[in-house]
Chain A
Amino acid sequence: MNRPASIRTAVEARLARRHRAERRFQFYGAAAICLAVAFLALLIGSILIQSVPAMTTWRMTLQVELDRAAIDPRGDMSEASLRRGGYNAAIQQALRDQFPDVEDRAELRELFGLYSSVNAARLLNRVVQDPSLVGGTVSFTFPIDDDADLYLKGVSVRESRAPGPAPVRIQAGEGRAVTLSAEARVFDAFVDDVREAARERARILEQRAERAEAALADAIDRDIRAIYEAEARRARAQAERLRDRLDEGAPVVIGPQIPSLLVQVDGAVIRVSDVSADRRSARGEMVISAPLGEAAHSDWTLWTIETPQAGRLISDRQIAWVDALRERGMTRSGFNTELFTYADSREPELAGVLGALIGSVLTMFVTMLLAVPIGVGAAIYLEEFAPKNRITQLIEVNINNLAAVPSIVFGLLGLAVFINTFGLPRSAPLVGGIVLALMTLPTVIISSRAALKAVPPSIREAALGVGASKTQAVFHHVLPLAAPGILTGSIIGLAQALGETAPLLMIGMVAFIADAPSLGLAGFTEPSTVMPVQIFLWSSAAERAFEARTAAAILVLLTLMVSLNAAAIYLRRRFERRW
């Protein structure tokens, strides 16, 4: 009888293949989990990395002279008088003292662009608090402009410095114009780099022209042909122009599209405007002046700012000034406390999350006050009191569906009902809190019901058995036992609401609000914003410095949510009871 043997061979023949399939399947599962974990790691990691530049900030310290006449215009030292003082002018003067040869109006504007005049308000407050400062000199520290800050952090501008290869002679011309000349081809490397970059761009332009011409050949429609013809012509012309400039015999004029060249020599900084064709001499102007004399300098630095001016928001001069301020020890980097102590601002260096944090606290307070009692009440009714009829069933189905309604729809509800019908104020934490409470309600109800359901019926029966009424049994016995579960569910619901953005956009909480709302009863109706909306606003801001601040704000929000969830987990662990 060969029956067993035949099964064995049949099974064994396929066994290896089946086990391979088994391993493959298991691998897919593990890979899926790894993928999810990797996504999370990437998400958190990228945000951490992006937030690094926002963790510190560069501040400038100036010795500001508070001239009695300018600061106290009425001369009576009253607060009203002090508030009319020219503080910004005092700061400007202190900055001008550092660079006395800056005269031109446009240049001065660039110089004062190194800080935001909003800082003057802080100086004002200091003086109002301590009028004895008037007439003296105060050391005033304030955040430097965001573009200068990014430059100092080395994230927005690429630059390189090389020692001058051969002695150079500097001849002063009219005003601050100078001519540099050397025996050797000292500007060789710079010119080569510029030409290489230009050649590359010309090549790309020609490619584009070729593509347009190819498309032109295929096009039938008259209008379309016109478009491609224009495109091809434009690209060709640009490429031509570039090629012309590449001509070996021509001098290199430094424009906004090509890297800038600065020369540092003996404390002076010269901005080169064009390099002659022989690459030995160049013309430029002094940005920071110093007496240089007629002799040749052998110790000098070629300072190339590789990011062209068109690709950055900080000018060559500003770079030279900021660099000089750093050399003089007047700028210093430190922890970015402004991020936590200031409300929103148009100036990234003065923008913080305080306003949004307070807005979030107020909004969450309203949400908690509404969602928890109503949610728990509804859960108690449905779980303990409600007769099992069609109405109860309808309410249940309705709650389950409400839990899956997109959050933006709640925003529409808030806009149509609370703002347009009831006339509640726009952008206010009150309305935001109500909308989020309605959104959180199903979560609270569902988790509270689960907690109530987990209390065994024997507890109710025991209470009823000793003569307690139904209400007494529920409120004296069941509710205390279900409280930890209810609390956990409520906290998780609140954490969800804390991270919600979309419905708040609908009720106008996206406005730019420079003052933090007051942490009191009045704050509930004042316009404000909340953390997630602040993140949204910053992420769409144009200034590059906001990018890092957005990431930092995200970290603040995530920290809040993690601590809320940790509290929920702690409560669950601490008071959890199993029957």
Chain B
Amino acid sequence: MQISVLVALTLLVLIAFGFLTGRRRALSVRAQGGPRLHSLPNYYGYYIALWTGGPALVLLAAYGAFGSGLVNTLAMSQLEREAAPLIAEFERQLDADAQIIALLEEAAEADADAMEAREAITRARDSGLDPQAFQGALAGHTTRLTEIGARLDQRRGEIARSVAARAPSSDAGIRARSGFEFWNSPRERRELFLADARAIAFGEGLASRNTPELRAAALAMRPVEDIFRWSVAALVLSMAVGGLAWGRSRVKASFRARNRVEAAISGLLMFASIIAILTTLGIVFSLLFESLRFFASIGWRVGDFLFGLQWSPQIAIRADQIGQSGAFGAAPLFAGTALITVIAMSVAVPVGLFSAIYMSEYASKRVRAVAKPILEVLAGVPTVVYGFFALLTVGPFLRDFALFLGYEDAVTQSALSAGLVMGVMIIPFVSSLSDDVINAVPQSLRDGAYAMGATKSETIRHVVLPAALPGIVGAVLLGVSRAIGETMIVVMAAGQGANLTANPLESVTTITVQIVTLLTGDQEFDSSKTLAAFALGLVLFVLTLMLNIIALRVVQRFRERYE
């Protein structure tokens, strides 16, 4: 850390020095009465400063981003190599262990039972009956599966410990143990392991544990890190000095310093605008990459994922386990998303559209001055607040109301309460976008209708709205895309049950809810459970992207027509 600070400070001093050198040189050229300077003296200073700092800073940034990862990988792969005999022994014992084989069989059995229970639930639903008892049975099987999973993990842990214990407690043995522990950890534990080892080695934060294995890893990291640090420091400083010298050698009266500096500035600006593209590419590639891994883990049955009717990812204990195939059918999520979107839009479109009409055609200036900011406030309320409102105010109210009307199975977390509140959230989007397009309809069209003797509402319904229709459709599509991608309201208020239902009083789950459920809590990163979240994210991204593109196109066409 101290070296990096020292390097950074030296670099700053060099940059300042470079600037002053450039300036002084330019001034001295002028003082000697030589040929007229092409640019102002400061530009020569900027030019040299750029050459001093630019390449060095890029290198430093790259080191900051990738340096520690590289050190970790190098150090740990060395330890893993040393642990190769332990790893081989562990795998041999795993395959031969009677208890594990029995547990795997038991898991397969429980999985089959769970499948059966799920079928029974479907049968009960189809015959219009209450499937509660089977749901109980299913929950039982699920718990059993989880228990078996836990026992499997436990047994695997035992074997791992016994294997590790065989290594001698010499330095080499502990290094091997360290490599073995790292190899045998799931992804998240690996992160923790690395963080702890780094904490011990370099004092970055506090270590949560301090074991001989961690100390061995820390010891392995230190020399690698030292080499890296010193070589990067040397490289950075020599690049800075080299850049300074090169820049200095170029400063002459005829040198077009300003143009060079300006080219650099505009390059920097272009880079800023490319970040937007990089973000999109980052989204597309990360989603695609992880989704492909997910599809590979379910045997490329993409159709089962998109159209399967069973969503219960908690059943699948690990990727290599049989029976998880049926658990990743996302159709109930799509149906839930659609149901909530429909409810939300049936609130947002009429209210938003009529507000926009009233605001742009009827309201006096004073009403507009009050109502418009209020709608804007509605748009600015964080979604988590809407979620809280849906969960604690709207949900209970709707449940009590449904109970009052004699609907016995009413629940607090229902599609209706989430949809209604989401609709309120989307009102301002629909209304402000519609307001814009309605205002963009030329006054001459309205005048034409008024001059025919049309009343105000006839003018609006027959002339203004048809003219604004494409824009309004665009606004609604953007609203739909918003509803599909909204997360917090549904996470808090729509429930968790992956029910394939059209009943708004039942709880449903959506794409976004499942992404959150799959990625929060304690999970290993590489399981198909977590990868499934990325596949859902990809579906969500593609869906909203298509809606956005269509909507933006439609609105653009509309604007071109009237502007």
Interface set of A (CB-CB < 8 Å, partner B) = 11, 18-19, 21-22, 24-26, 28-33, 35-37, 39-40, 42-43, 46-47, 50, 215, 219-221, 223-224, 226-227, 230, 373-378, 380-382, 385-386, 394-395, 397-402, 404-410, 412-413, 415-417, 420, 422-423, 425-426, 438, 441-442, 445, 469-471, 495-496, 498-502, 505-506, 508, 510, 522, 525-526, 532-533, 535-536, 539-540, 547, 550-551, 554, 557-558, 561, 565
Contact = CB atoms under 8 A, between A and B. Distances in A.
Contact of A407 (B265, B456, B487, B492): B487
B28 interface: no
A561 B377 CA distance: 10
B53 to A, nearest CB: 16
B225 to A, nearest CB: 14
Nearest to A527: B205
B378 A36 contact: yes
B460 A385 contact: no
Contacts of B381: 43, 499, 558
A520 to B, nearest CB: 13
Contact of A441 (B275, B355, B428, B492): B275
6 tightest Cβ-Cβ pairs between the two chains A and B: A406-B485, A29-B358, A499-B382, A377-B272, A32-B354, A416-B286
B478 A404 contact: yes
A323 B533 CA distance: 52
A410 B132 CA distance: 38
B443 interface: no
A413 B282 contact: yes
Given A471-B262, A532-B384, A29 B485 contact: no
A438 B129 CA distance: 49
B456 A22 contact: yes
B371 A33 contact: yes
Interface stretch (B65-73, B74-82, B167-175, B322-330): B65-73
B127 A221 contact: yes
B424 to A, nearest CB: 5
What is the interface of chain A mostly: helix, strand, loop, or mixed?
helix
B525 A381 contact: no
B130 interface: yes
A35 B431 CA distance: 13
Contacts of A398: 276-277, 280
B273 A377 contact: yes
A402 B274 CA distance: 13
B512 A502 contact: yes
A40 B388 CA distance: 14
B483 to A, nearest CB: 10
Contact of B457 (A21, A43, A376, A557): A21
Contact of B273 (A29, A36, A381, A501): A381
B391 A539 contact: yes
Given A26-B456, A405-B541, 14 more contacts: A21-B457, A32-B355, A39-B378, A215-B130, A374-B275, A378-B275, A382-B273, A385-B266, A385-B270, A400-B552, A405-B545, A413-B279, A415-B519, A558-B385
B537 interface: yes
A559 B530 CA distance: 36
Contact of A471 (B120, B266, B541): B266
Nearest to A18: B455
B213 interface: no
5 contacts: A25-B461, A227-B130, A406-B544, A416-B287, A510-B520
Given A404-B481, A412-B537, A532-B382, A423 B72 contact: yes
B424 A39 contact: yes
A409 B540 contact: yes
Contacts, number: 297
B285 to A, nearest CB: 9
B9 interface: no
Contact of B455 (A22, A441, A495): A22
B44 to A, nearest CB: 15
A469 B24 CA distance: 23
B266 A501 contact: no
A224 B132 CA distance: 10
A425 B134 CA distance: 43
A395 B274 contact: yes
A394 B428 CA distance: 29
Nearest to A23: B457
B355 to A, nearest CB: 4
B558 interface: no
B384 A536 contact: yes
B191 interface: yes
Contacts of B519: 412, 415, 505-506
B516 interface: yes
B165 interface: no
Contact of A501 (B194, B359, B383, B461): B383
A97 to B, nearest CB: 40
Nearest to A227: B133
A36 B374 contact: yes
A470 B258 CA distance: 11
Nearest to A35: B351
A402 B355 contact: no
A386 B273 contact: yes
A251 to B, nearest CB: 35
